[in-house]
Structure 1
Amino acid sequence: MSSHGHQHGSGHTHGGDGHAGHAHGVSADADRRWLTIALALITGFMAIEVVIGVIARSLALISDAAHMLTDAVSIVLALIAMRLAARPARGGFTYGLKRAEILSAQANGLTLLLLGAWLAYEAVERLIDPPEVEGGLVLVTALAGIVVNVAAAWCISKANRSSLNVEGAYQHILNDLFAFIGTAVAGLVVLLTGFARADGIATLVVVALMFKAGYGLLRESGRVFLEAAPAGVDPDALGDELAAQPSVVEVHDLHVWQITSGEPALSAHVLVEPGGDCHGVRRGLEDLLRQDHGITHSTLQVDHAPVPVFAGDLPDGRDLLSARDSSHCAEAHGPVHRPTPHEH
């Protein structure tokens, strides 16, 4: 009974997944196009900036160009990850390579932190011993950089930012935009007042923003790798909600995780009262998960609860948990959810 229900449930949910996958494929092509345009803008301006930086002997501009290089790398990483994630599942990779996108997001977060540390070191050195800065040339180039980064950021914002992978590239571009604004302000201050330390102060403000963005990306990608429940989903509350449905006696081994950004998955073992309709209960739970929680990929093992069901029915007063058939789920992973007495 339960085996058949399980297979039928899998087929049902995979069908839903297929439609979602098709829509995702169309948007992925658009994402690639927008990211490629942003990449062309950034690499073109980066080459010009290196030349101007060398001519002006400006470390500020050359370090900005280095930052743009990491932007370009982050976009290339995002594009490669998209290609890998689009490959069909086969062989030992039963989910395909969807988590390549999460690896890319983690790499982007890490490079933001490392680059922030390097820029912080450079900024402190400049505060201690400020170099000669050609304010005019720095200001003009930084203003041009702002225009290029606004255009690149707009391109990436048109892509699917709910993907951690795209968000990683976006955070790189956004931080580079802040860096150029900081550089432009510093260039203006140097030009008007001759206060060379303005460059280092502006850099430290940008570093703080980089650390914030990098930490956010590492935290979110870490949650996916550690199989944590998606943000906004409380597994305990969800388990109680499933257990409260008609004919459900108990829910245990409940797991909620993300395959990749925007692809939540759930599995659980559900016990139904003796004589209850296992297939009907499973379909009802799947509809609830899909409509109320946006979880389209669910695998539910549905079995009839052993008789007797309720505490006190057994001679020694044991409850359902201790009476459960020992042939499966000898020890539940996580809490066991049961309906409150007034619900049944």
Structure 2
Amino acid sequence: MRGSHARSYAGHDHSHAPGVDANNEWRVGLAALLTGAFMLAEVAGGIISGSLALLADAGHMLTDFASLALAWLGFRISRRPADWKRTYGFDRFQILVAFANGLALFAIAAWIVYEAIERLMSPHEVAGGILVVVAVLGLLVNIVAFWLLQGADRENLNIRGATIHVLGDLLGSVAALTAGAVILLIGWMPIDPLLSLLVAVIILRSGWKVVTAASHILLEGAPEELDTRAIGPDLIANVKGVEDVHHVHVWSITQARRMVTLHASICETEDSDRAVKAIKARLKERFGLNHATIEIERGVCADAGHEEAHA
């Protein structure tokens, strides 16, 4: 059984979707280049105008550039083939990057809140005209970057994390544009930090979703949409010869790569090879589980002595 599974490992199609990953990679890479290039332009605009708001946003974009570059690196590394030390390959690196990007969003939101409170307590003059011009350019750049990421796999956690960073920049540009217009029209300076607080709340909420989803995968949690309690009863009811199912473990390498291992007790007259094929077919059809490792048993479970320890 173990030998047959080892042989099938090299031949399985694990649905890594290399075309999708390559599409994700170049889109994130181009978004990173756009963000990095505009960050330099924003630093220049902030220095010329004396606008702390623009310099602060440039610092925000620096962290976003780093996050997008890290996301690109995640896709790049995940393309490396599996080896004897890493039999599942490097796909999980994408999840690590998504988790890190989610934590970075927390830091960015906290920094924006700190800056906003400081500006509310100590208002300062901002050159509204330059602020509006740079904000418009930033909005255009962020719209292009956001459009690029919308064409990628939006269910991918790495893409979701990168998209939230860009969305935060886009909202920041909208907030800066609105603030600049208000400052030009009526000269009310507190509008800038107040809108920044709103952006921080949106970023924090989105970052929380990415972190919780990534940590669930890193902790080997079962896919959210799958009730593992239903697997055993379903196989007993729908696969001929299956009398009991136990030691069911379901987890994900990435959202697209879901794994399951289980023990199946079959009747004495049932052919084990046929049972394995039937169980795998049912798992794929009913639960969308393409990679299954099945241990066939007759009578007492081989791990019966360890059941209490692992209960």
Report the TM-score, using the length of structure 2 for normalisation. 0.93
**Aligned 8 A contact 2:71 2:162 in 1:** yes
**1:288 partnered with 2:282:** yes
- Output one character per residue of 1:111-130: Cα deviation in whole Å (capped at 9) or x when no partner: 11011101101101111221
How far apart in 2 are the matches of 1:334 and 1:216? 34
Contact 2:25 2:76 in 1 (8 A): no
Shift of 1:147: 0.8
Segments of 4+ moved more than 3 angstroms: 6-16, 331-336
- Give the CA deviation at 1:216: 1.0
1:92 and 2:88 are equivalent in the alignment: no
Shift of 1:109: 0.4
TM-superposed deviation, 1:212: 0.8
Task: Name the structure 1 match of 2:125.
Answer: 132
Tell me, yes or no, if structure 1 residue 150 matches structure 2 residue 143.
Answer: yes
Residues 73-129 of structure 1, C-alpha deviations (whole Å, 9 max, x = no match): 111111111122111122322222221111100110011101110110110111122
How do 1:250-329 residues align onto structure 2 when only pairs under 5 Å count? 250-304=244-298, 306=299, 324=300, 327-329=302-304
Gaps of 5+ in 2: none
Equivalences, count: 310
Larger displacement relative to structure 2 (28-37 or 8-17) = 8-17
What stretches of structure 1 of length at least 5 have no aligned partner? 307-323, 337-344
| TM-score, scaled to structure 1 | 0.85
After the TM superposition, which residues 116-131 of structure 1 pair with which residues of structure 2 at under 5 Å, given as runs? 116-131=109-124
Give the drift of 1:14.
6.0
Q: How does 1:224-239 map to 2 (within 5 A)?
A: 224-239=217-232
Question: 1:174-193, aligned counterparts within 5 Å?
Answer: 174-193=167-186
Contact 2:245 2:264 in 1 (8 A): yes
The C-alpha deviation readout for 1:296-344, integer Å capped at 9, x for no partner, is: 111011122x2xxxxxxxxxxxxxxxxx35x4332448999xxxxxxxx
Secondary structure at the counterpart of residue 159 of structure 1: coil
Q: Does the Cα contact within 8 Å between 1:10 and 1:298 map onto a contact in 2?
A: no
* Structure whose CA Rg is larger: 1
Aligned to 2:59: 66
Instruction: Quote the Cα distance in structure 2 between the aligned partners of 1:334 and 1:156.
Output: 46
Q: 1:7 to 1:240 in 2, by over 3 A?
A: farther
The correspondence of residues 189-200 of structure 1 with structure 2, limited to 5 A, is: 189-200=182-193
Q: 1:242 aligns with which of 211, 220, 235?
A: 235
Instruction: Report the aligned-residue RMSD.
Output: 2.0
Give the Cα–Cα distance (whole angstroms) in 2 for the partners of residues 114 and 334 of structure 1: 41
